[in-house]
């Protein structure tokens, strides 16, 4: 593994881009081997944009936070620095590389020993870590030019202020809850003259000590399985067992076989029902969502199915299930990695059911099938131009011209983002925005089928979002994630608007898109939002967010991006996770309704967590499962309901061969 390159990237992408300018800090972070400050099995994650677990249930801070604090403290070479909460020793090493002397205090002797060992090995002679309560400071070594606290307390201890040199700066997370703080900077202007600034919301582990919080159970952050283990066999299991409603088996599409779907009738008053999945390759999740969708369509008038797939692929399915001919040759769809996510036997069955359902209905009463995702830049460009070629060749010429800005990047849209970034401006933004605006303004002029217009409009929207998405990729993951989920929400809103008063939608997407991000690490640590959250916040009508989970079984996934699909064993869920509690409840298949209600107060309280939750996408890495696939969440706030399959099996990818009896227009190209 090339750590030097990762280090450079970390500094450029996570730190410089976010505005940290202190040369000394940037230079130090380009040099210090952060991978040596974490356990061996976590080395490959050492340069990720996040905190990581270290011993004693603590964390090594996110690189950006280390840089931000030192930048705020205006640390420079002559400074004497005190750090409270040395943890891994990484921040102390950065400070040591910049300043003249560093005094670091750590509460856990185990961590002090590890940190001192690392610092010694790396040749530091100006950094000392000792075990103790840092809230009292280090009187013998005072005064300090810089005091940094790597853990959050209820207030800035008076004793620490007294240990600041004139002109000295203290940076510390402060908050009245143990789990949420604001980063505060105090500058000592004179003997009793302190100036205070608020640098914004942050999330640190608690500062435990005389002038901090009292030690108590549950102090350790989520990354500590041990704390959870002790709590296990707990109220959550008992409450789940009490509240879980066993579900019938998932069979097929026989007319009288709708018991599974009926269990979800209670959500039918929602305008949008969002159905999640905790992997992209579990058959039960697809079949359950198909059964629920079928019931919502047949019995409750739902008329839109919107899925986490690219618009043009889904549009081909939509034409097929609505018995509309395609203007161009039927395209073989879902060819981009991960193909099995949609090209699988469960989706195939569902598509055929949709087609049958629509067969006897007029266009206004048919169900539509649509894609919310934005990874089809090229095909969407082509679709807009093809459409205009048919209805307005002159405008097609203008579209060609405008989109030509992106054509050189057809094969490598990420390269476009890089180039735009280097030039320092959004090279094609205006062209793609103008194209969308023109389509919208002139919609009434275009002749022909309204569905074709809507298709072109969404493709133009996709091109506009994708242009911004590929640029945002270089500003860090939160921005591009947010753009993607905002795009999904925008498309969903367009779909609802196009159907008018009667619009009711079912959405299929991963739990990470559907479970309200404000109640997971995504929103709380990384400022990420998602589709489920946006629906709750901005749709006028009620919505239902339904998550899915499993304990063990098999899953279709790849080891790396673009690698072949494999059927892998899903490891049993971790102690202390929501999944483990569901497993311990001992019911193979159930629905857990968690909506606020008098009868459910105890259930909700017992589940309030936060606890770990498993997220498997198209990549599954069982060896590093804890860090690749688990994150903290508060289940009853994240979802309205949770659907459980204790054991589950992998989806079956569709074969490439043709099948007798399937119409030639069938977009799966079988």
Footprint of ligand SAH (CB under 6 A): 58-61, 66, 84-85, 87-88, 90-91, 105-108, 111, 133-135, 150-151, 205, 207-209, 212
Separation of alpha carbons 304 and 491, rounded Å: 12
Please, which residues have CB within 8 angstroms of residue 601's CB and are 6 or more apart in sequence? Answer: none
Pick the closer one to ligand SAH by CB: 209 or 553. Answer: 209
Please, which residues have CB within 8 angstroms of residue 82's CB and are 6 or more apart in sequence? Answer: 102, 103, 104, 105, 134, 137, 138, 141, 142, 144, 146, 147, 148, 163
Separation of alpha carbons 650 and 520, rounded Å: 26
3-state secondary structure of 103: strand
Cβ neighbours of 134 (radius 10 Å)? 31
Pick the closer one to ligand SAH by CB: 136 or 419. Answer: 136
Whether the Cβ atoms of residue 396 and residue 460 lie closer than 8 Å to each other: no
| Distance of closest approach, residue 103 Cβ to ligand SAH, in angstroms | 12
Pick the closer one to ligand SAH by CB: 209 or 576. Answer: 209
Pick the closer one to ligand SAH by CB: 202 or 491. Answer: 202
| Distance of closest approach, residue 132 Cβ to ligand SAH, in angstroms | 7
| Distance of closest approach, residue 96 Cβ to ligand SAH, in angstroms | 12
Pick the closer one to ligand SAH by CB: 59 or 239. Answer: 59
| Distance of closest approach, residue 78 Cβ to ligand SAH, in angstroms | 22
**H helices of 32-87, where?**
63-72
Separation of alpha carbons 631 and 516, rounded Å: 14
| Distance of closest approach, residue 134 Cβ to ligand SAH, in angstroms | 3
CA distances 353 to 152, 253, 324, 346, 362, Å, are 55, 7, 16, 11, 16
Beta bridge partners of 195: 187
| Distance of closest approach, residue 293 Cβ to ligand SAH, in angstroms | 45
For the purposes of burial, counting CB atoms within 10 Å of the CB of 380, is it exposed (0-12), middle (13-18) or buried (19 or more)? buried
Whether the Cβ atoms of residue 631 and residue 537 lie closer than 8 Å to each other: no
Pick the closer one to ligand SAH by CB: 79 or 284. Answer: 79
| Distance of closest approach, residue 248 Cβ to ligand SAH, in angstroms | 48
Q: Which of 50, 61, 283, 480 is catalytic?
A: 61
Separation of alpha carbons 111 and 130, rounded Å: 10
| Distance of closest approach, residue 172 Cβ to ligand SAH, in angstroms | 11
Distance of CA 399 to the CA centre of its chain: 34
Whether the Cβ atoms of residue 492 and residue 508 lie closer than 8 Å to each other: no
Beta bridge partners of 221: none
How many residues appear in the chain?
Answer: 670
Pick the closer one to ligand SAH by CB: 178 or 513. Answer: 178
CA distances 540 to 233, 409, 495, Å, are 40, 39, 15
| Distance of closest approach, residue 207 Cβ to ligand SAH, in angstroms | 4
CA distances 385 to 32, 154, 203, 438, Å, are 51, 59, 48, 13
Cβ neighbours of 670 (radius 10 Å)? 15
Confirm whether 61 is a catalytic residue.
yes
Pick the closer one to ligand SAH by CB: 107 or 580. Answer: 107
Separation of alpha carbons 670 and 574, rounded Å: 40
Separation of alpha carbons 354 and 513, rounded Å: 24
Whether the Cβ atoms of residue 376 and residue 462 lie closer than 8 Å to each other: yes
Pick the closer one to ligand SAH by CB: 158 or 394. Answer: 158
Beta bridge partners of 543: 272
| Distance of closest approach, residue 39 Cβ to ligand SAH, in angstroms | 12
Tokens of 132: 């103790």
Please, which residues have CB within 8 angstroms of residue 444's CB and are 6 or more apart in sequence? Answer: none
Pick the closer one to ligand SAH by CB: 43 or 566. Answer: 43
Enumerate the active-site residues.
Answer: 61
């Amino acid at each position: 593994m090339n750590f030097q390159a990762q280090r450079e990237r970390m500094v450029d992408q996570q730190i410089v881009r976010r505005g940290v300018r202190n040369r000394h800090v940037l230079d130090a972070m380009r040099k210090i081997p952060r991978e040596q400050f974490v356990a061996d099995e976590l080395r490959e994650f050492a340069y990720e944009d996040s905190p990581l677990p270290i011993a004693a249930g603590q964390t090594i801070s996110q690189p950006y936070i280390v840089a931000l604090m030192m930048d705020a403290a205006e640390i420079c070479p002559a400074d004497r620095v005190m750090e409270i909460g040395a943890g891994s020793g990484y921040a102390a090493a950065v400070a040591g590389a910049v300043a003249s002397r560093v005094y670091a205090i750590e509460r856990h002797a185990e961590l002090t020993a590890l940190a001192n060992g690392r610092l010694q090995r790396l040749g530091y002679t100006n950094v000392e870590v000792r075990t103790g309560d840092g809230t009292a400071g280090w009187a013998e070594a005072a005064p300090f030019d810089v005091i940094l606290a790597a853990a959050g307390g209820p207030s800035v201890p008076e004793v620490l202020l007294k240990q600041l040199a004139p002109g000295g700066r203290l940076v510390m997370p402060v908050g009245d809850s143990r789990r949420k703080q604001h980063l505060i900077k105090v500058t000592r202007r004179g003997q009793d003259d302190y100036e205070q600034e608020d640098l914004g919301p942050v999330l640190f582990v608690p500062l435990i000590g005389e002038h901090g919080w009292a030690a108590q159970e549950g102090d350790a952050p989520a990354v500590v399985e041990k704390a959870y283990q002790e709590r296990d066999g707990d109220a959550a299991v008992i409450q789940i067992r009490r509240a879980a409603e066993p579900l019938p088996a998932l069979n097929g599409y026989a007319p009288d076989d709708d018991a599974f779907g009926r269990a979800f009738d209670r959500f039918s008053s929602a305008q949008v029902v969002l159905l999640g999945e905790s992997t992209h390759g579990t058959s039960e999740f697809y079949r359950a969502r198909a059964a629920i969708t079928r019931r919502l369509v047949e019995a409750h008038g739902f008329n839109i199915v919107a899925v986490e797939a690219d618009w043009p692929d889904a549009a081909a399915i939509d034409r097929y299930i609505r018995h509309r001919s395609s203007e161009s040759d039927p395209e073989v769809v879902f060819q981009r990695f991960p193909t099995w996510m949609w090209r699988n036997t469960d989706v195939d069955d569902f598509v055929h059911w949709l087609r049958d359902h629509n067969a006897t209905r007029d266009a206004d009463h048919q169900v539509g099938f649509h894609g919310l995702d934005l990874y089809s830049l090229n095909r969407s460009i082509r679709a807009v131009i093809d459409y205009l070629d048919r209805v307005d060749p002159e405008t097609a010429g203008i579209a060609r011209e405008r989109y030509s800005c992106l054509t050189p990047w057809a094969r490598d849209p990420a390269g476009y983002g890089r180039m735009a970034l280097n030039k320092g401006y959004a090279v094609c933004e205006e062209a793609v925005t103008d194209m969308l605006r023109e389509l919208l303004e002139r919609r009434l002029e275009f002749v022909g089928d309204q569905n074709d217009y809507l298709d072109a409009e969404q493709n133009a929207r996709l091109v506009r979002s994708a242009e911004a998405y590929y640029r945002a990729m270089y500003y860090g993951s939160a921005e591009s994630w947010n753009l993607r989920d905002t795009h999904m929400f925008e498309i969903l809103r367009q779909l609802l608007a196009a159907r008018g008063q009667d619009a009711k939608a079912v959405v299929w997407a991963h739990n990470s898109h559907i479970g309200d991000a404000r109640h997971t690490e995504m929103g709380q640590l990384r400022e990420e939002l998602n589709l489920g959250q946006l629906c709750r916040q901005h749709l006028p009508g009620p919505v239902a967010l339904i998550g899915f989970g499993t304990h063990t079984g098999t899953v279709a996934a790849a080891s790396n991006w673009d690698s072949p699909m494999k059927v892998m064993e899903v490891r049993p869920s971790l102690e202390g996770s929501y999944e483990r509690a569901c497993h311990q409840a001992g019911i193979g298949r159930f629905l857990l309704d968690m909506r606020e209600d008098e009868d459910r107060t105890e259930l909700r309280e017992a589940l309030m967590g936060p606890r770990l939750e498993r997220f498997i996408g198209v990549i599954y890495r069982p060896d590093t499962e804890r860090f690749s696939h688990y994150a903290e969440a508060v289940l009853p706030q994240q979802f309205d309901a949770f659907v459980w399959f204790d054991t589950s099996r992998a989806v079956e990818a569709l074969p490439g061969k043709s099948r007798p009896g399937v119409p030639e227009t069938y977009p799966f190209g079988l």
